[in-house]
Every structure is written in C-alpha cells, then in structure tokens.
C-alpha cells in the first residue's frame, strides 16, 4: 500500500495558508494574532511540544507570549495568570500545556480560560457549540487533534457520507469530539472503548477507523477491514527490538506494518496526526483573532 497519509505535508499546506491570511489581516488591522503558551514545570515531552508549537506559531506570523512557570506554582497563582491573559487585548489564544503537576486541577484551570481565547478548543462552551452546530462552523474553536484528523480525511477526496466510522476511545479531548465531527460529515459513528464487547469484530466492520486509545499497537491486522481508512492518533514511547538491537521508539495505537497490508490509507506515527494538531492550534488562534475583530 502506497497511500500513506503525509501529515507533515498537509499541515504545512495549512500553515502556508494561515501565513497568507495572517499577513492580510496584519496589513488591514496593523496587528497580528497573539498566543499565550503556559507551561508549568519541565517535563521533557511537554518542553518538546511547546517548542514545536512556538516555532510553528512564529512561522505563520503569530506573536507568542511564553510563560514557563515553576512546577511548584500554586493553583491560585496559575488561575490569576490566566485571568490576566483573559483580559489582555494582545492575547487571542491561551494554551496551557498538559499534563499539569498533580497538585493542580487540570479541569479547573482549563475551564478558567475565556471560551473565545480557548486555543485548544477544550472549554465546555466550545464543546457544546460543536455538539449543537449543524455544520462545521468556521467560527467555532474545535479541539485540535480531532479537527486535524478530519482534515486528513478530507485530503483523501473520499465521500464520507454514509461511511461506518469507528472511534476507539471516548476521551473528551479526542474520542467524543471526533465522533461529533464525523456525524457532521454524515458518517454512521460508533464509539468503542475498554468495555466494548467483541471490539475486534466491531473495528473490522469500519470503513473509517480512528484509533485514540493510548495503547501501543493494540490495533492488529485482523481489526482492520480491507481498504479501510485508518487514522492513528496514538503516541506511545516503547522499547522495541529493531534488527536485533533494543531501541526507544515512538509508535501509534495501530501496528503500522500489519495495517499497511490491509488499509486503503493510513497515517504514520510520527508524522501523521501530530503535525495537524499543531496546525489546527494555530488555526484556532487565527479564528479567535478574527472573532475579536467582529
């Protein structure tokens, strides 16, 4: 199978378009979108993600306000910072990098972000708008990873209407909003999870399979329908035997080598969904900026 979905290439196309749009907005309004990036502590993976997001934001012309806070910061002080950013005119999007230290309530912090500055699209109000909107409204701040998955599907130029889509995972960040987006594309959607019986057979009936469960290579060849489209959201760090040598490797929730023998199209890990998540974060920041202009 040669139909590997190149997330890097598609994300770059989205970023190139955003750069042009932001430059046009800059010429018209004499200002650019602003993104506040809040990181608490120095978890290595978080630092890598923050660096990538910051670099991409600057590339498309978004101004970045970087807040790298001590891991022992109190919940109260973090809330005060977010409240300050909520009313700062130069900030259009607020991103709080997860995970947060255990003494901080993540849900409380994310809910403190003003909905119209919610760059991740996690706020309950934005999730509610996604649920009740009849179309994929371009003014709605949609969770970045699910929207990135949808854009990857659209790039395949396949009619999604009536297709049976199975989403493995029911998280608020990926699984549930992914299902909502697929419903808006007129797919027939099933959400599978750890309590689903006969999950292998259910997945094998899917025309579109979205794996977002966080278990390395759980999806095997016999889980995949012949010529299905497979989107792998998982990012798992494991040790793997590569030509007789044990190496640290990043793998998805799908066994890539097996899946490519059956799937019509398949995202790799890394280089599939990940770059799209960042691009959609920038998209949300641009939308927040446009909304602020009325």
- The one catalytic residue in 39, 118, 120, 225 is 120
Rg (CA), the chain: 19
d(CA 188, CA 232): 19
Cα–Cα distance for residue pair 261/263, rounded to 1 Å: 6
Query: Is 215 in the active site?
Result: no
Is-catalytic flag, 83? no
Catalytic residue among 97, 163, 260, 286: 97
* Annotated catalytic residue within 15, 53, 117, 260: 53
In whole angstroms, give the CA distance from residue 88 to residue 198. Answer: 51
Instruction: Give yes or no: 120 in active site.
Output: yes
Residues assigned a catalytic role: 53, 97, 120
């Amino acid at each position: 199978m040669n139909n590997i979905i190149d997330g890097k290439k598609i994300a770059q196309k989205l970023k190139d378009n955003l750069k042009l749009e932001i430059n046009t907005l800059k010429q018209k309004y004499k200002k650019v979108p602003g993104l506040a990036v809040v990181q608490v502590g120095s978890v290595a993976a978080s630092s890598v993600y923050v660096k990538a997001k910051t670099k991409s934001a600057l590339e498309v012309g978004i101004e970045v306000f970087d807040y790298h806070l001590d891991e022992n910061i109190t919940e109260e002080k973090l809330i005060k910072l977010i409240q300050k950013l909520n009313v700062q005119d130069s900030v259009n999007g607020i991103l709080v990098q997860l995970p947060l230290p255990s003494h901080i309530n993540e849900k409380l912090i994310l809910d403190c972000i003003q909905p119209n500055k919610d760059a991740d699209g996690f706020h309950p109000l934005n999730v509610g708008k996604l649920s009740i909107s009849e179309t994929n409204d371009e003014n709605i701040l949609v969770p970045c990873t699910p929207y990135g998955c949808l854009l990857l599907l659209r790039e395949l130029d396949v009619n999604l209407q009536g297709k049976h889509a199975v989403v493995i995972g029911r998280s608020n960040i990926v699984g549930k909003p992914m299902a909502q987006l697929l419903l808006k594309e007129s797919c027939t959607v099933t959400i599978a999870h750890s309590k689903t019986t006969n999950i292998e057979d259910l997945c094998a009936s899917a025309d579109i399979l979205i794996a977002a469960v966080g278990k390395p290579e759980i999806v095997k060849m016999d889980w995949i329908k012949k010529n299905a489209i497979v989107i792998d959201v998982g990012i798992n760090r494991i040790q793997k035997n590569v030509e007789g040598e044990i190496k640290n490797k990043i793998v998805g929730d799908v066994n890539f080598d097996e899946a490519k023998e059956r799937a019509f199209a398949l995202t790799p890990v890394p280089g599939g969904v990940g770059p799209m998540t960042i691009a959609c974060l920038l998209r949300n920041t641009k939308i927040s900026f446009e909304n602020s202009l009325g």
